[in-house]
Structure 1
Amino acid sequence: MNEQPSPQAQTDRAKTGAVLTGMKRGVRHRCPNCGEGRLYTRYLKVDLDCEVCGHDLARYPADDGPAYFTILIVGHLFVAPLLLFPFIWKMSPTLVVPLTVLPLAGLTLVLLPRVKGAVIGALWAMGLRKAEDCPSG
């Protein structure tokens, strides 16, 4: 017997699809709204508006989230397993530090704009944006 999913389940699937779409576009440094325009003007500087669809890209508050997630990814997927290798503990620190820290710093710098793009894409999909006009007082 085939049962139709509830409207809530359909809405949840649609939201999940939108989040994944936005994150994929962000990882590719593209506008989360259209997927065509560029997301950044420089390394981590978000473009004010999409050059293709005109979407306001500056309204998504990525803040410290991308840095946190990048450190989490690099620390858990690379640093923690690296500590299991005996050469880390047996070799001279003058060799271990440059052989590990430099590639890890490079990996962090490569991942950071992609993670920031994914965070912006997720914020776009969820409709979260900076507070426009906060009343004072």
Structure 2
Amino acid sequence: MSQAITATLADDRPMWPAMKKGYLRRCPHCGEGSLFDGYLKVNAGCAECGEEFHHHRADDGPAYLTIVLVGKILGPLLYVAFTKFRPDPLMLSLIFSVAAIAMSLYFLPRLKGALIGIQWSRRMHGFGRVTAG
């Protein structure tokens, strides 16, 4: 592909709005249709605009990002809670275990949607194929 076509393709699908729509679990194209048909099952396509989602490749990326994000948030909090307040270790582990599970359940579908939004905006894995001719 030529430089001009590549620049045009990148400009017509901005990444940040697509990521935001995906994070909100909406279609990265129109922002109206639902991206998921349940907790993590991606719809085959958007009911509003017809954009196909079946060829996304999020794989283990959302799980990895969720682990990193939850660890980066709870790690320092655990250190501060342990050094400043000295709670009972059982209570500390119970509170932080529940927090880690709750945060993981919250972030996992949202990060998966954001990754699908990135893939859509960059035309990866079959999103918006350009045919020659």
Structure-1-length-normalised TM-score: 0.77
Distance 1:79 1:52 in 2: 41
Give the one of 41, 47, 51 matched to 1:51. Answer: 47
The structure-2 alpha-carbon separation of the partners of 1:118 and 1:96, relative to structure 1 and needing over 3 Å to count, comes to same
The structure-2 alpha-carbon separation of the partners of 1:65 and 1:15, relative to structure 1 and needing over 3 Å to count, comes to farther
2:99 alignment partner AA: P
- The residue that corresponds to 1:63 in the other structure is 59
Q: 1:33 is paired with a residue of what secondary structure?
A: coil
Distance 1:104 1:15 in 2: 38
Q: 2:14 is paired with a residue of what secondary structure?
A: helix
| 8 Å CA contact 1:88, 1:96 repeated in 2 | no
After superposing on structure 2, the runs of 4+ consecutive aligned residues of structure 1 that deviate more than 4 Å are 14-17
Q: Structure 1: where are the runs of 5+ without partners?
A: 1-6, 131-137
2:19 alignment partner AA: M
Question: CA shift at 1:93, angstroms?
Answer: 2.2
- The residue that corresponds to 1:32 in the other structure is 28
Q: Structure 2: where are the runs of 5+ without partners?
A: 127-133
- The residue that corresponds to 2:99 in the other structure is 103
Question: CA shift at 1:17, angstroms?
Answer: 6.8
Matches within 5 A, 1:71-86: 71-86=67-82
- Once superposed, what is the RMSD of the aligned Cα atoms? 2.5
How many equivalent pairs are there? 121
Structure-2-length-normalised TM-score: 0.79
| 8 Å CA contact 2:36, 2:43 repeated in 1 | yes
Task: Percent identity, please.
Answer: 35
